[in-house]
Amino acid sequence: MNFIKMQGLGNDFIFIIDNKNEFIDNEIEIAKKVCDRRFGIGADGLVIIRKSNIADAKMVIINSDGSRANMCGNAIRCFAKYLYEINSIDKSIISIETGDGIKNVELKTNNNKVELIKVNMGKASFSGKDIPLRNKKELINEKVKIEGKTYKLTTLLMGVPHTILINNNDEHTIEEGRIIEKYNLFIDGTNVNFIKIIDKKNIEVRTWERGAGATLACGTGCCASVVALKKLGLCDDKVKVKTLGGSLEVEVVNDEVYMIGAADFICKGELY
């Protein structure tokens, strides 16, 4: 089985092609095996490229622990670069089928290489039914007590569930994401974003990812953080988001969320 490894802001993925749906029965085990950083290749997730009847290609994402994700911002930028440079889909706008619907991706290229990727991430939702929350209509800037500690949380669906908390004074550690992720209010768990507000145009985000733990960056987390801060009146429509793995630009236009950033190849090889 041939693979290519890619990364977006240090969020790394193993890519394999499955045009014949050959891995349906064991793709969870494949993901856990190849993502293991000691006994496998090592990655935050496995991305399977499949044919689509409604878009240019279908993206299937499985986290390193074997759980599935409907959407991943860093993965979809890598996916678009792969389609253009490896699969030779010669378009400036590519449609990608995801678990969160079809996403349209605009490519900025130079000499047949993708330099920047702009993704229409769609609209976020604060509805408790969409996230989903247990017996709660919404969670916006609300104090929640978890294992004896009080957090002020805002939760939304940005393709996948995301919870944000402002961490300007480093009062929280990234490892606290572990207990927030599995708090029983969140029916399907949640990603957790720890935010430092520099000013209304610049923020820093660290994300504890559901199913992967602390990562260098999370694309949907960056988008969710900007949407949540905008909801609270704490940022502008266009924000530069700094992560440990690099920076993204996130812009909200008429409630549509756009993410702009890069992606890179790391290596390719053969899985035994």
- pLDDT tens-digit series, residues 2-34: 999 999 999 999 999 987 777 777 999 999 999
Instruction: For residues 22 and 45, give the distance between their C-alpha atoms in angstroms, rounded to a whole number.
Output: 19
In a domain, 31, yes or no: yes
What pLDDT was estimated at residue 271?
86
In a domain, 136, yes or no: no
The response to whether 177 counts as a known ligand-binding position is no
Does one domain contain both 63 and 164? no
Total number of domains constituting the chain? 2
In a domain, 87, yes or no: yes
What pLDDT was estimated at residue 23?
73
Does one domain contain both 146 and 119? no
Does one domain contain both 266 and 250? no
Which residue numbers in the chain have pLDDT < 70?
none
Instruction: Give the range of the structural domain holding residue 81, as residue numbers without chain letter.
Output: 2-123+260-270
In a domain, 12, yes or no: yes
CATH value at residue 155:
3.10.310.10
- Beta carbons within 10 angstroms of residue 232's beta carbon: 13
The response to whether 19 counts as a known ligand-binding position is no
Span 136-158, pLDDT tens digits: 999 999 999 999 999 999 999 99
Does one domain contain both 195 and 105? no
Does one domain contain both 74 and 108? yes
What pLDDT was estimated at residue 261?
97
The response to whether 191 counts as a known ligand-binding position is yes
Active-site residues, by number, are: 72, 218
Does one domain contain both 7 and 119? yes
What pLDDT was estimated at residue 1?
85
Does one domain contain both 113 and 174? no
Does one domain contain both 199 and 109? no
Does one domain contain both 203 and 264? no
Does one domain contain both 83 and 36? yes
Instruction: For residues 151 and 133, give the distance between their C-alpha atoms in angstroms, rounded to a whole number.
Output: 16
Alpha helices in the chain (DSSP H): 27-35, 73-85, 177-181, 219-231
Does one domain contain both 27 and 101? yes
